[in-house]
Amino acid sequence: MQDVARLAGVSVSTVSYVLTGVRPVSEATRRRVQTAMETLGYQRNALARGLASRRSHMLALLFPAIERGLSGTALEFVTSAAETARRHGNHLVLWPTAADGEAETRDLLRQGLVDGVVVMEVKLHDVRVAELQRGDTPFTLIGRTADPDGLPYADIDFDATVRAALDHLTGLGHRHIGLLSHSRASLRAGYGPTVRVLAAFEREARERGLLTAVRHCDETADAGRAAVADLLGERPDLTALVTLNDNATFGAVAQIVDGGRRIPGDVSVLSIVSSPQVGALSHPRLTTMAAPGDRLGRLGVESLLAQIEGSAAAVAAGASTLHELIPCRLDVGATTGPAPTTS
C-alpha cells in the first residue's frame, strides 16, 4: 500500500479510503490511486473489497454432509453453484451441518460472515429454512419444503422423472418393477427426494396396474447388496429395478450378477436422480435419469444474487422469486433391456 501511495503522490490513509470507501475521495485522486494500483499490479484483498461494498462476497451452501455425505451426483450441484458464484465475483463456501442443521444455521447467521445462503438436501419440514425465515439474510433453496409458496426454490420435478423412468421400463415390456430407495430414516425425516419419489412411484404403478415392491436401505454398497438379496428372494418375479440411492446401486448391481442373474437379460436396472458420470462407474454402465445438477446449482445462486443485489431487472424477471421444477433426463446405458419372456 505504501508503494501505491508513493506512486500516486498521496498518503497511505488516502489509499485506504479509496479501497474501503469509509471516507469520500475526489474523483481525480481516486483515478490516480487506481492507476498506481494497476501499474504496480496491486490487488486489493477480499476484506478491503467487502468493506468498500458493505458485502463479504461470500455465499454459504448449507449441506447436511455430516449426515448424508457428498455423493457424486450431489457434487455436480455443488460444483455448478460454486462456478456460478465465481463468475459473479463471489466465493461459495460449503457449510456442513448435522442432521437437522438448526444450530449450525443459527451460528452462521449470527456471525454475519456471508451475504446469502443456498440450502441443499431440503426436507419437507426443514428447520434450517424456518431459521432463515426468522432472519433477514437472503436465501434460496435447491429443493422444496412441503409448502414452498413464497420461497425461492429450484428443484427436480420428481413426478415427471418417475413417469419417464416407468415409461422407459414399461416400453420395454416390464410389469414387475422394484424400487430401491434411501433409508427409512430419510423417509421419516421427510427428506424431499425420498418422499416425493416414493409417492410418485406408488401412484404411477397403481395407475398403470404394475406389480411392485419397495425396499429402503442406507447409502452404502453393502446395504444395497443386502436389500436386493432380500427383495429378489421375496419377489423373484421382478424383472426391473428403479434405484434412488447412488452408493447402494453399485451393491445392488453386484448382488444381481453374483446371484446368477443377467443384467439386463433377467433384471433391468435404472438409477434415477443420478448422472451419466456416476453411471459410468458401474459395469455394465448404468442407465440413468440424469439429475439437472448444473442448471439447479446455477439457478439457485443466480436467484440468491438477485436478492442480494436488489436488481430491479432481476426481480422483474422473477429471478429472486424462483419457482422452477426440472425433470431428470434419460441417459440409456447398458443396464436396461426388454423384459424376459416366459416359456
Are residue 242 and residue 303 in the same domain, yes or no? no
Predicted confidence at residue 198, as pLDDT, reads: 98
Q: How many domains does the chain fold into?
A: 3
For residue 313, is it within any domain?
yes
Are residue 63 and residue 141 in the same domain, yes or no? yes
Are residue 204 and residue 282 in the same domain, yes or no? yes
> Could you give the CA distance from residue 198 to residue 183 in angstroms, rounded to a whole number?
12
pLDDT tens-digit readout, 194-215: 999 999 999 999 999 999 999 9
pLDDT tens-digit readout, 323-335: 999 999 999 999 9
For residue 331, is it within any domain?
no
**CA-based nearest residue to 21, from 51, 42, 65:** 51
Predicted confidence at residue 314, as pLDDT, reads: 47
Residue 39 has pLDDT above 80, yes or no: yes
> Could you give the CA distance from residue 154 to residue 282 in angstroms, rounded to a whole number?
29
Q: Taking the CA atoms of 291, 295, 301 and 306 in sequence, report the sign of the dihedral they define.
A: negative
Question: Please, are residues 217 and 285 in contact by the beta-carbon 8 Å criterion?
Answer: no
What DSSP state is assigned to residue 180? E
The pTM assigned to this predicted structure is 0.82
Name the more confident of 313 and 96: 96
Are residue 125 and residue 99 in the same domain, yes or no? yes
Are residue 169 and residue 231 in the same domain, yes or no? yes
On average, the pLDDT of the chain sits at 89
For residue 342, is it within any domain?
no
Average of pLDDT values for 291-311?
Answer: 91
Predicted confidence at residue 315, as pLDDT, reads: 47
For 52-56, 263-267, 315-319, which range has the lowest pLDDT when averaged over its residues?
Answer: 315-319
Residue 45 has pLDDT above 60, yes or no: no
> Could you give the CA distance from residue 144 to residue 146 in angstroms, rounded to a whole number?
7
Are residue 38 and residue 77 in the same domain, yes or no? no
For residue 68, is it within any domain?
yes
pLDDT tens-digit readout, 161-178: 999 999 999 999 999 999
Predicted confidence at residue 318, as pLDDT, reads: 47
Give the domain extent around 22.
Answer: 2-53
Average of pLDDT values for 263-268?
Answer: 98
